[in-house]
């Protein structure tokens, strides 16, 4: 007996009804060959109360349109015609890399010259003032790396010892010593010189590096204006006190760290401390740096034939603590310059290169009394070649620090 039923047998797999209008996807025709209404693969959805699926958009995900036409980039000035399509990506990359490349080239130019001389200083003794930081510390490190015995003359003994320990560790030279020196005090300068003359058998290099810059009008314990006292008078007394040891150790060299700020400076021998003139931190700083140049010139003349050579130099614009008084006086300017300073100022290591160059380069004896910058001889300002003012400054400096005028 047969039982007829319009539905399928229980448990049987349903056969989906085929829409007569449906047809297979034709690759040649593309997506447009698909029917508007696809057959439901599960025809018993309504009986089981299942939701009807919505048709999905079967169109392919649009991809980035390939560039096939001429480049839409505007060509740079002077470029002949539009930029070709294959060059567009190269030009985009170059537009990103070019500024970075320019900054690198500019930074290398700002870093200045490098001392290429590899002369060793074994058996030599060097004194560096202001050696607890900045270019003084880097100069001491370079001397120690070359095997010299280094005496770091520092006002702050604690910072000086920390710097000396760092130099000993980085160079492997344990012959690095720290001695106290306060260049604003003539008593401290004399005490330092007495100790050096008593304990040292020779002295081959004296680097007068320490200084202050554009500080307010302060007077030292000797009654001197601070900038001319530290930058010139203290080093003037120090150098003259150590000259006998330098002469006996010849050939020897004295390096005075000056500045390009000596240009436009004026040394008023009758009013070095701005007693009658209105005080300006910049004028005082320029005067002290011009005094360094004139002191070097006169000292070179006096030491001609003694085996002692003298040089002065401009180290460059360096990001050190020397400008702390400028930052305190002009906080807005310091804020504006804080980031550019990282790019457009020399590092202490770069700033020490000219000092090292003057100390170790062979054959510089014939250029004693000259002015250097970026490891090359440069011309000083006209006021730095005034022999008459240099002699007057020498005599006045001797009177102020208590030395006999030779």
- CA pair distance 93, 101, nearest whole angstrom: 12
Q: Choose among 291, 208, 260: nearest CA to 381.
A: 260
Task: List the catalytic residues.
Answer: 285
Q: Please, are residues 151 and 126 in contact by the beta-carbon 8 Å criterion?
A: yes
Burial 373-382 (b: 16+ CB within 10 A, else e): bbbeeeebee
Length, in residues, of the chain: 406
Q: Choose among 367, 126, 393: nearest CA to 233.
A: 393
Q: Residue 314 burial (CB < 10 Å; 0-12/13-18/19+)?
A: buried
- CA pair distance 314, 265, nearest whole angstrom: 15
Q: Please, are residues 383 and 262 in contact by the beta-carbon 8 Å criterion?
A: yes
Q: Choose among 258, 286, 287: nearest CA to 272.
A: 287
């Amino acid at each position: 007996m047969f039982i007829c039923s319009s539905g399928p047998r229980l448990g049987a797999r349903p056969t989906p009804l085929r829409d007569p209008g449906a047809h297979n996807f034709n690759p040649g025709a593309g997506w447009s060959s698909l029917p508007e209404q696809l057959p439901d693969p599960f025809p018993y959805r309504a009986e089981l109360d299942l939701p009807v699926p919505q048709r999905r958009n079967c169109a392919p995900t649009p991809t980035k349109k390939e560039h096939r036409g001429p480049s839409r980039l505007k060509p740079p000035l002077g470029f002949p015609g539009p930029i070709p399509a294959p060059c567009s990506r190269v030009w985009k990359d170059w537009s990103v890399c070019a500024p970075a490349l320019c900054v690198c080239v500019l930074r290398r130019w700002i870093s200045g010259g490098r001392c290429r001389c590899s002369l060793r200083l074994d058996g030599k003794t060097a004194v560096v003032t202001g050696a607890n930081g900045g270019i003084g510390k880097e100069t001491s490190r370079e001397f120690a790396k070359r095997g010299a015995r280094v005496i770091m003359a520092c006002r702050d003994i604690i910072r000086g010892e920390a710097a000396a320990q760092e130099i000993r560790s980085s160079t492997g030279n344990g012959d690095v010593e720290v001695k106290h020196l306060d260049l604003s005090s003539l008593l401290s300068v004399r005490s330092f010189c007495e100790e050096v003359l008593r304990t040292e058998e020779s002295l081959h290099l004296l680097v007068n590096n320490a200084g202050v810059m554009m500080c307010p009008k302060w007077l030292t314990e000797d009654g001197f204006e601070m900038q001319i006292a530290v930058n010139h008078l203290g080093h003037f007394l120090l150098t003259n006190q150590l000259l006998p040891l330098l002469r006996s150790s010849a050939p020897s060299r004295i390096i005075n760290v000056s500045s390009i700020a000596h240009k436009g400076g004026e040394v008023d021998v009758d009013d070095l401390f701005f007693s009658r003139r209105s005080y300006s931190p910049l004028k005082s700083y320029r005067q002290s740096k011009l005094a360094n140049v004139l002191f070097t010139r006169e000292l070179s003349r006096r030491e001609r034939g003694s085996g002692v050579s003298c040089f002065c130099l401009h180290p460059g614009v360096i990001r050190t603590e020397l400008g702390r008084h400028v930052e305190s006086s002009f906080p807005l300017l310091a804020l504006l310059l804080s980031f550019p300073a990282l790019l457009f100022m020399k590092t202490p290591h770069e700033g020490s290169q000219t000092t090292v160059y003057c100390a170790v380069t062979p054959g510089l004896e014939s250029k004693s009394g000259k002015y250097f910058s970026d490891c090359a001889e440069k011309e000083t300002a006209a006021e730095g070649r005034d022999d008459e003012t240099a002699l007057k400054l020498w005599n006045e400096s001797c009177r102020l620090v208590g030395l006999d005028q030779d």
